[in-house]
Amino acid sequence: MIVGNRKSMEEILEMVKPYKKVLLLGCRECITVCAAGGEREVGVLASELKLSRAKDGQEIEIKEFTLERQCDFEYIDQIKPFVDEYEVIVSMACGAGIQYTAERFPKKPVFPAINTTFLGVTLEQGLWAERCQGCGECILHLTGGVCPVARCAKSLFNGPCGGSSGGKCEVSKETDCAWQMIIDKLKALGQLEKYEEIIGVKDWSTSRDGGPRKRVREDLRLQ
Amino acid sequence: MLKAFESGADGIYIAGCLEGECHFLKGNLRARKRMLYLRKLLAEVGIEPERADMYNLSSAQGQRFAAIATEMTEKVRALGPSPIKKGQSAFKA
């Protein structure tokens, strides 16, 4: 899932400072699962905004609304009937949802309440960790299912480096060395011969280096 | 809990079971963690976090319940009215 963090109250308050009518928009997808921008978090932020304004003797009207997704226009368009009643939209979706909402309503300011951080997994309730960087060319079949792009601090393709010690990365004692994990996993799978093969230079043009990406499935397109 | 403050409450407290004796096993421990989270949220918007608290007691401790109610009331009274009320009256004026 896409994992995000809510921005600080200070930052959000500064963004909405000039506005009195705010549409606070949550998303029921990834950002709900990582407990950053779902219906509950929309409710909490709305309360905080109201309390802060009330304390300063300032008026604010907030409509709380949580969409099924903010990355599909069919859902975003559900706010069409009432969006004009509000001066600003504060989105609690990931960066993709925030931008798509802004694209659908070009005359409306759309502000982010979330810092989108990574593609990851839930390790346990309340704890999420990065697993993928969407590089566009997966090599997990070569590395025992452990991604060196996302999980090695240097994104090394042939590791470990000299900073690996006792299975930990020199970046932090909390961080497992991805290449130690790869070796351990290949050993467990009986595929250690894969470790001896040098992985060639990665073509980063499939990643962000190639600019913004699109995916097309012509058979699904309606036009 | 935030709704209570929105409605103008000067303070709130949660009464949970004694630690280790909760019918829901960890329910009271989790509630305490959420209370700490609430206090952080209150501080973020400039409301004294001391206005929210949690106490642990059993349903057989009526006297303790009364003592806690008095203690919390005195604590909140010392803090004065909620800053929300002050702001709201300034807004109405």
- pTM of the entire structure? 0.92
Chain B residues lying within 8 Å of A50, measured CB to CB: 6
Is residue A221 one of the residues assigned to a domain? no
Q: Please classify residue A124 by burial: count the beta carbons closer than 10 Å to its beta carbon, then call 0-12 exposed, 13-18 middle and 19+ buried.
A: exposed
Rounded CA gap, B71 and B50, in Å? 12
Is residue B87 one of the residues assigned to a domain? no
Is residue B68 one of the residues assigned to a domain? yes
Calculate the CA A140 to chain-centre distance.
21
Q: Are residues A22 and A107 in the same domain?
A: yes
Q: Are residues A60 and A139 in the same domain?
A: no
Chain A residues lying within 8 Å of B84, measured CB to CB: 51, 54-55
Is residue B50 one of the residues assigned to a domain? yes
Q: Are residues A104 and A6 in the same domain?
A: yes
Chain A residues lying within 8 Å of B4, measured CB to CB: none
**Mean pLDDT score across all residues of chain B:** 92
Confidence of residue B91 (pLDDT cuts 50, 70, 90): low
Q: What is the pLDDT of residues A104-132, one digit of tens each?
A: 999 999 999 999 999 999 999 999 999 99
User: CATH no. for residue A57?
Assistant: 3.40.50.2300
Query: Which of B39, B44, B82, B86 has the highest number of chain A CBs within 10 A, making it the mutation to test binding with A?
Result: B44
Rounded CA gap, A87 and A61, in Å? 10
Q: Which domain holds residue B46?
A: 11-80
B51-90 residues touching A, CB cutoff 8 A: 83-84, 86-90
Is residue A183 one of the residues assigned to a domain? yes
Q: Which two tokens stand for residue A84?
A: 């004009």
At A223 the pLDDT is 84
Q: Are residues A110 and A142 in the same domain?
A: no
Is residue B75 one of the residues assigned to a domain? yes
Query: Angle B82-B83-B85 (CA atoms, 0-180°, nearest 5)?
Result: 70
Q: Which domain holds residue A148?
A: 134-203
Is residue A8 one of the residues assigned to a domain? yes
**Mean pLDDT score across all residues of chain A:** 97
Domain count, chain B: 1
Nearest to A54 among B3, B41, B87 (CB): B87
Q: Are residues A90 and A178 in the same domain?
A: no
Residue type, A169: C
Is residue B27 one of the residues assigned to a domain? yes
Q: Which two tokens stand for residue A122?
A: 């839930």
Q: How far is CA A188 from CA A53, A91, A156, A191, in A?
A: 58, 45, 21, 8
Q: Are residues A169 and A61 in the same domain?
A: no
Rounded CA gap, B80 and B70, in Å? 15
CB contact under 8 A, B86 and A55: yes
Of A57, A91, A118, the residue at which a domain comes to its end is A118
Q: Are residues A96 and A147 in the same domain?
A: no
Is residue A166 one of the residues assigned to a domain? yes
Is residue A216 one of the residues assigned to a domain? no
Q: What is the pLDDT of residues A61-109, one digit of tens each?
A: 999 999 999 999 999 999 999 999 999 999 999 999 999 999 999 999 9
Give the distance from residue A41's alpha carbon to the nearest chain B alpha carbon, in angstroms. 12
- Quick one: average pLDDT of B25-32? 93
Q: What is the pLDDT of residues B30-42, one digit of tens each?
A: 999 999 999 999 9
CB of B30 closer than 8 Å to CB of B37: no
Domain count, chain A: 2
The length of chain B, given as a count of residues: 93
Q: Are residues A146 and A183 in the same domain?
A: yes
CB contact under 8 A, B91 and A58: yes
Is residue A128 one of the residues assigned to a domain? no
Is residue A104 one of the residues assigned to a domain? yes
Q: Are residues A145 and A107 in the same domain?
A: no
